[in-house]
Amino acid sequence: MEKHNSDSNYDSNSKFVNLGQEDQMKITGYQTRIVKQIVTWIFVILTIGLLRLVFYWRPDWMVKCMCRKVYLKSADYVLLEDQYDQIFVERVKTLPDYRRIAKLDSSSSSSFSNQFKQDDSLSKMMSRIPSYDELTVTKQYFMNKKVKYIWNDDLQQFEKLKGLDEIMSCSIFYEKKGLTQSEELQRQNLYGNNSIIVSVTPVVKLLLTQALHPFYIFQLFSCALWYSDQYGWYATCILVISIVSLTVQIYQTRSMQRALKSTITSNEMVSVYRPDKQEFEIVLSAMLVPGDVIEIPKQGCVMQCDAVLLNGNCIVNESMLTGESIPVTKTPIPQGPGIQDVKFSLAEHSRHVLFSGTNVIQTRYYGSQIVKAVVIRTGFSTAKGELVRSILYPKPVDFKFTQDGAKYIGVLALIALGGMIYTLVLMIERGDEVGSIITRTLDLLTIVIPPALPAAMTIGIVFAQKRLKRQKVFCISPRSINLCGAINVFCFDKTGTLTEDGLDLYGIVPALKQRFQTEEKQISANNQRNPLVIAMATCHSLTIIEGCIAGDPLDVKMFEATCWKLEEPGEDTSKYDVIMPTVVHPSVSDNAGHLPEYENDKAMPYEIGILRQFTFTSKLQRMSVITREINSNHFDVYAKGSPEMIVSLCNSETVPADFHDILTFYTQQGYRVIAFAHRLLSRMTYVKINRVQRDELECGLTFLGFLIMENRLKPETQPIIKTLKTANIRTVMVTGDNMLTALSVARDCQMIDRHDHVVMVTGLPPSDVSPARLEYTCSENIVNDSKLKYSSRYQLAISGTSWTIIHKYFPEVLPKLAVRGVVFARFSPENKQQLIELLQDSGYYVGMCGDGANDCGALKTAHAGISLSEAEASVASPFTSKESSISCVPNVIKEGRAALVTSYGIFKFMACYSLTQFLSVCLLYWIGATLTDFTFLYIDLLLLTSLGITFCYTSAYFVLDPKPPKVSLIAVTPVLSLILQLLVHLIIQLTVSKLTEQQPWFEPFIPNEDRDYQCYEVTIIFLSSSFQYITMAIVFSKGPPYRRIIFKNYVFMVNIILSAGITIMIVVYPFQWIIDLMELKMPPSLAYRGLIVGIGVMNFIICFITETYIVDFLIDGKFIQPLTEKYINIKLKYQVIENEIYSQPDWPPISNSDTSIADLMRLEQFTVDACAPESKDFTYVDEEENKVKEQRKPENELSIKPSFGSKLQTVNEAELQDIQNLNDFLQNGHGKDSTNDLNNLLNVFGNRSSSDLWQNDNEDVIPILPRTMSDDSATLMQMTNTNNPGSMKIKMETNEESSEVTIL
């Protein structure tokens, strides 16, 4: 990105699209020029089309040659460059000729604008969105990666075409009445068809595309050269191999395209409302556009678009997106006065959105009403479309091995250039014909750069993929297999990955009157009407599908433990025909044990109806329901969620004092703890409860207690973690669960060693009295922290809240967290993805294993993501295991290492083969000869091809070695290995040539015009080099510790024996037809032939010793590595960070306070409150008792909350004087005439004017909580406006006394 910003060649004509997003691209406009086009095409003709071929490979060069850079609005083409340096050229088009594109409903747009007219930031944001009424017939656009970009006249740049999800408020969805037919056609002009088209490329087009690849063009050039040089047999074989290879590639590509198309492409009939006809009409789903109001069928459907639910409920299977085949309940988008100012956000309101590709199992609705939804996104803009685009346009894999391979080919090209110059000079001095000089010179290029190199590099990956498939691990991104061989950090989700999918009930801990009751292992029949049990029976999202209870496994276990029954009267699609869509009741009829408020009518059956659900979201960390007991005159709210979140919503007087101590007790043992709370709604009507917002309900709760779930480790977890750590592969846990639970599981599975200390990093946001700061607390009780500071055996743990604070205020600490962090708890999906990216930026090769629920982003971002889910979400992950345990992780790494070492070896084999053949040809060129057609054929087909294929067949070693394989080809060891091997081969070939010249029967070669190369020199070079090719295949086929020993590759061993046997036969006693076919001139001496075999054996021994002892043992192990460590400071980024940590013995600065883990959790909870996106109501006015109840507040903060609804104000110590001034002002008798002074003082109370204070008929309560004072002197002041204007009541309370003063 810095490269883009610092590029001075780009002026105002270059801008960015998707600025600040993952798909950010630099965009430059170009306009065609006739003169430049004519000149360019003249050069294309002069180069016989070669320049056009180059332009096919580099279309940006063609644009630059034929066009000139212009302002974007005038551009005919745009040049796009993404962050991976990929270049795209797109043609700018104009929308079809319609008079005007339809506006959004003018009333809605106006209403939306008015709602936000005072919000400057939102107004600016809205001004950047192209409005529909601006889209005239001159509107320009272009397509890139299936996304349409529209010209924005206001910003003078192209912007991604947005759906309704980015430009609407929540309330406006209910104003949508659908589109008329004319509006529908006009919007189709803008958005296009609602279809995710994965086209199957025609064979002819695919053939041309593949055949024009540089690899095949080079092969075509080579074959043409060989045919011109009368090497017909070899050229024909290579041509046949290329055709077969092309055919296989085309077949595989079309098969994958057909499979993806059959999975993705679908088109259904949809019922769409037309306001001009006042009725629904049936249309193809491809005709849907944003703004359409559609009907969701009663019996469900597969969603063809993203739509916001307006009424009714939908039970949806979102496995295509989340990876979990668990029914999810979708509820209507909220409506009412409270949400008029709320802008719709797909992330925050996803529980109200039906996503494309998900399966709606059932719909539920009120009476005869139908379930309706508003279309917000279509086509490739939908959630399904984005997933398909990620498959069609995957992120390029930046792997050093691949980069080095390209550099090696460049080096080979330079060597070929040197050889070509050598040949050119040699043949000119000898006076050869021009045609012969050109042929021989170009022939060297085809020898040095082997055409089969790219194919050979993929063979090992193909075999590894097949072996993984046998182990029930499926790979959709084969190029990721080599990356697995370099993995040195592996991240794991906890629940469902390290631990069992299901949770078992351990017990419940009820709370009553601020005290925890005795732990109960089982819920007895006499205790079934305990409020905590009622909360367990009602606060869930379970439903009945085909007679069985379905839903989240945790909810199922929890409900089964209550021994209650769940009933849903009526047909599944008409559950809202009755007032209570879901009814639960105890399975026993015993009335004992229920509380007084439930004893109104013991004669009636005890049943509770679940009227409304607020579904669980990871961001809110809770869910809640509204219920009503049969024949009751009030409603109830039950909530459950993370203990930290639930306690922040409860009245402090209902929370036991030892809350954090009890929570710590269970979480430290690895239990999953869920908190429950309740609230009585005594003044709510049925209509109001269906419109009230959850924020208004989920406050002022009464704490009910804990549900303790036991989440056992999978039996494979501990040995697998131990295996990875033994292999020096760092293991990291990243989970959404509680910190202490995660730490307990990490210790149980030995992710944290027994002797390791864990330092918990807590980030605290800034306040008015102190800046943002970090707290480092050891999870163990260490008397002397020097034991930790001077020890390297400590790990870091951090929560998602603290991670966000560190990201914002302490980014310099993030690299240390990447190197030393072991547990990352309460992490959201976005946090997980950020962690993966941070580890990658630190130089790690990162793997990620998760169950697919909240891990899709991390799985796609990691170098190697392994999904344990069998759902369709696995398409987002390179690997999918059908075994739901992490036992697949070592297997993937083993196969990755084997594939990487195989690619490493085959590359060296191919490079050494080509350079050895290059040496042979150069030696023969010296005398004017070369190898014959069939000797080339024997080497390239029988030896090279067969050995190269079977070379890759060696399977992975069964043990993970602590030392990872090398990933760089441009290093001392591989380069020195090639040089030494080539040196040995050159010496052997020169030695054999000189020995042959000294034999009495030797006859030197005489150049001739008939190209008769049947001579001793060619024969001896051919025979000796044949042994060298077999030698290289054996020497470079490394075994343990990454691949099994060579003798276990039976196919390769048979091939070696056959190749060596045939070569020995040709040397010692060849058949006459072989001699004639290969044009050999065999030495007449049988003893000399035996000597050639002996030299071949000696060549093998020397090469083997050179590679295994000199290169691998001495140079790499005993010389290069120590020399590098001592004199050459070549370290990866994470190694530099680790050294920096070692050099700072005082880091981390452990807190010296006696802070317990429970205290740390309290501190963390206060951080959660402070970082909440919206202000929380810390004052709860009971509707029945009209009492102000105090909430827990952070230390050293003073909160002032007027009950009339202004925003929460946090007052620091410096502002306490203002409060005291107000107190003095009132006590000194100042009245209504001193409004100016009073107004200034009241600014600290939410900017409420004095006239409002006195003229309000209702009571205004302002509790002031000076937490900086000691508990004994803590004062609660309440200013209460009585019905007598000008009179205020001051109530002073302390622990010792209470007094009231009336001020007139």
| Rg (alpha carbons) of the chain, rounded to whole number | 38
Alpha-carbon gap, residue 1193 to 648, rounded angstroms: 9
What are the φ/ψ torsions at residue 1073 (nearest 5 degrees)?
A: -65, -30
Q: Which residue has the tokens 């050099």?
A: 1143
C-alpha distances (whole Å) from 1103 to each of 363, 448, 694, 1110, 1114 are 73, 21, 75, 10, 15
CA pair distance 535, 529, nearest whole angstrom: 10
- CB-based contact 400:166 (threshold 8 Å): no
Helices in 116-156 by DSSP H: which ranges? 120-127
Asked, as a colleague might, if the bond just before 1148 is cis with ω within 30 of 0, I would say yes
- What are the helix (H) ranges across 378-491? 383-392, 400-430, 434-448, 453-470, 480-484
**Residue 779 phi, psi dihedral angles, 5° rounding:** -70, -20
What's the CA gap between 1251 and 1233, in Å, rounded?
10
Question: What is the greatest pairwise CA distance in the chain?
Answer: 135
Pair 761, 817: CB distance under 8 Å = yes
Q: Which of 105, 493, 555, 851 is catalytic?
A: 493
What's the burial of 185, exposed, middle or buried (CB within 10 Å: 0-12/13-18/19+)?
Answer: middle
For 527, residues 6+ apart whose C-beta sits below 8 A from its C-beta are: 520, 533, 593
Helix (H, G, I), strand (E, B) or coil at 31: strand
493 flagged as catalytic: yes
What's the rounded Cα separation, in Å, for the pair 303 and 196?
A: 12
The single-letter code of the amino acid at 16 is F
Q: How far apart are CA 1118 and CA 800, in angstroms?
A: 45
> What backbone torsions phi and psi does residue 282 show, to the nearest 5 degrees?
-90, 125
Residue in 487, 485, 430 with CA at minimum distance from that of residue 461:
485
- For residues 1018 and 803, what is the distance between their CA atoms, to the nearest angstrom? 70
Measured CA to CA, the distance from residue 936 to residue 903 in angstroms comes to 24
**Could you give the angle at which helices 1086-1105 and 1016-1035 cross, rounded to 10 degrees?**
30
Q: Determine how many CB atoms are found less than 10 A away from the CB of residue 7.
A: 11
CA distances to 260, 294, 588 from 265, rounded to whole Å, are 8, 20, 51
Of 1279, 1298, 1300, 1299, which Cα lies nearest the Cα of 1225?
A: 1279
Q: Is 920 helix (H, G, I), strand (E, B) or coil?
A: helix
Q: Using the structure block, give the residue that is written with the tokens 């070492």.
A: 901
**Cβ within 8 Å of residue 365, ≥6 positions away:** 311, 312, 313, 371, 573, 574, 576
Q: CA end-to-end span of the chain, whole Å?
A: 67
Classified as helix, coil or strand, 281 is strand
* CA pair distance 43, 41, nearest whole angstrom: 5
Question: DSSP of 765-814, one letter per residue?
Answer: ---SSS--EEEEEESS--S-THHHHT-S-EEEEEEHHHHHHHHHH-GGGH
Peptide bond into 974 cis (omega under 30): no
Query: Which sequence positions are flagged as catalytic?
Result: 493
